[in-house]
Amino acid sequence: MNIKKAYIISSFIFLIVTALAGSILLSGCKNKTAERYVLTGDTLTDGKNLVQIHCTKCHALVPANALTKDVWTFHTLPAMGPYLGITPYLDGYFKKDTAGLTLIEWQNIVSYYKKIAPASLSAAKPPVTAANDWAGFALKTPAPTEKAVFTTMATIDPYSHKIYTSDGVTSILQEWDSSLKMLRSVKLPSTAMNASFTKEKTGAVTAKFSCIGELQLVDFPNGRIMNVNLNDAGLNPVKFASELARPVHTVSGDFNKDGLTDWVICGQGYLKGGVYMFLQNNDGTFVQTNISDKAGAVKAIVGDFNKDGWQDLMVLFGRGDEGLTLFLNDQHGGFTKKNLLQFPPVYGSTDFEVTDLDHDGNLDVIYTCGFNFNDSRILKPYHGLYLYKNTGNWNLKQEWFYPINGCTKFVTADFDGDGDLDIATTAFFADLKDNPAEGCIYFEHDKAFSFKPHALPVSKYGRWFNMDVGDYNSDGKPDIILSNYSTGFNFQPGLKPFWLKNLPFVVLENNFKK
């Protein structure tokens, strides 16, 4: 077989797979239209209506002005085409069902975005200018390594106050003491994204590490949850769960009120994923059930959110049909779903917490968005930190927004000891060319739903992929730890890295005077 013939065959196979993928995805979408839209001949009218009909079947509508004309034309629309049955052979071998689009319909959608979308996006103006200072923090660093680091997780054990890190290339888990000296290490099946610590009745501290399997966005379910007895001299990871779709977060609870600890795992996946429940039996074994088969789960929080005495679950989905969903315990082994917030898929939802920000008795929501490595890799003025007020019965109203390009993580604590909750954010996809200071911001609580920002001068020490809060030096004050994923995921053309590549993490030590 010559090279030309092989290329033709491989291309043909690729097109078949792409077409089938599009059909499968469409069959899973909601609100299929039974009748085809009748074109009026007006490009703007037809394009707008077709977008409303077809592009909201699987996710919230993306406004035309959310992306630039070039990004729509050369990146986002080509990536979305197969989901709507668009392939190079529309009218021949790959004829779609009624859920797909005709070539004329697709051309109307493309023309609509070309005419309506802006040439560029204007940067959002922050409500308050950030002060460039250390606030009350002091920088502490471990000894530099010989090679570049790819730290996906840096976390603080709340019981022993030791630090644990995981590297995205070597999959090595490392343990550090309060002087930032590495004590022990062990290889995990893949890099860890999250750790959930538990103090057992015996006094031993164990941790469940969410090992993602594949860091890149692919559907290959080789993620695992590894259980490690941190009092064991050899660490020795033991498999708790396997064959998971890119697990990124693990939380515990007692969802059936039997006195045993159950576990919930967020399988972010890619096109396939889920929220997995592991219910514990009396003999210590676990039974898996799926709370949701939806991909994109990035974080879960356990709580009695309707105050009925049973533990519920709140989950943030950060890909595709993005949003915040409340799963209410039905007291019979299942959950009922309530959608609290929905976001367009360009938001890249990354993190959330629930807390009573205004002390009115209702839990409010802190939310960040900014994952920026999908099909529209440009700076987005709607990325950042959001505060939502719970006006009652989990009706959420946006009260405050602070723009942060590519915001990817945040932690909360009363850092300055004044009795109010403060916030610290990181942005892995910050504007590293023109505004790298937004990579780490400390928000000092001012009043309800209002904060004073401090841009901490740490951008030259690393590029912050993840973060955690804890008392690493056992002085009774919360500190911040930042993980440095030093190379890769470049989304700004011409960017020359200026940060250190050999510091696995840094600690922002709390030196606030109470």
Q: Look at residue 101 in the predicted model and tell me its pLDDT.
A: 87
Q: Which pLDDT score, from 0 to 100, does residue 36 have?
A: 82
E-only strand ranges, 51-150 = 137-140
Supply the DSSP string of 388-399, one letter for each residue. Answer: EEE-STT-EEEE
- For the record, the structure tokens of 175 come out as 């343990």
Tokens of 454: 């401090």
> In angstroms, rounded to a whole number, what is the distance separating the alpha carbons of residues 64 and 49?
13
Q: Of the candidates 253, 151, 242, which has an alpha carbon nearest to the alpha carbon of residue 196?
A: 253
pLDDT values of the chain reduced to their tens digit, one per residue, 514 residues: 443 344 333 433 333 333 333 333 333 344 444 468 999 999 899 999 999 999 888 899 999 999 999 999 999 999 988 888 887 655 433 444 445 788 899 999 999 999 999 999 999 999 999 999 999 999 999 999 999 999 999 999 999 999 999 999 999 999 999 999 999 999 999 999 999 999 998 999 999 999 999 999 999 999 999 999 999 998 999 999 999 999 999 999 999 999 999 999 999 999 999 999 999 999 999 999 999 999 999 999 999 999 999 999 999 999 999 999 999 999 999 999 999 999 999 999 999 999 999 999 999 999 999 999 988 999 999 999 999 999 999 999 999 999 999 999 999 999 999 999 999 999 999 999 999 999 999 999 999 899 999 999 999 999 999 999 999 999 999 999 999 999 999 999 999 999 999 999 999 999 998 7
3-state secondary structure of 44: helix
Q: pTM value? A: 0.90
| Chain region(s) in the chain for CATH 2.130.10.130 | 131-510
Q: What is the DSSP string of 408-448?
A: -EEEEE-TTSSSS-EEEEE-TTS-TTT-GGGGEEEEEEEET
Q: What is the model's pLDDT at position 89?
A: 57
Assigned CATH topology for domain 131-510: Methylamine Dehydrogenase; Chain H (2.130.10)
**The predicted structure's pLDDT at residue 26:** 31
Residue 384, phi-psi category: left (phi > 0), alpha (psi -120 to 50), beta (remainder): left
86 and 106 Cβ atoms separated by less than 8 Å: yes
318: part of which helix (H) or strand (E)?
none
Q: Report the alpha-carbon distance of residue 368 to residue 141 in Å, rounded.
A: 27
Tokens of residue 140, six digits = 């502490």
**Contact criterion met (CB below 8 Å) for 238 and 230:** no
Overall residue count recorded for the chain in this entry: 514
Token duo for residue 502:
């050999």
Using an 8 Å Cβ cutoff, are 183 and 177 in contact?
Answer: yes
Apex CA 495: angle with CA 79 and CA 317, to 5°? Answer: 40
Residues 208 and 169: beta-carbon distance below 8 Å: no
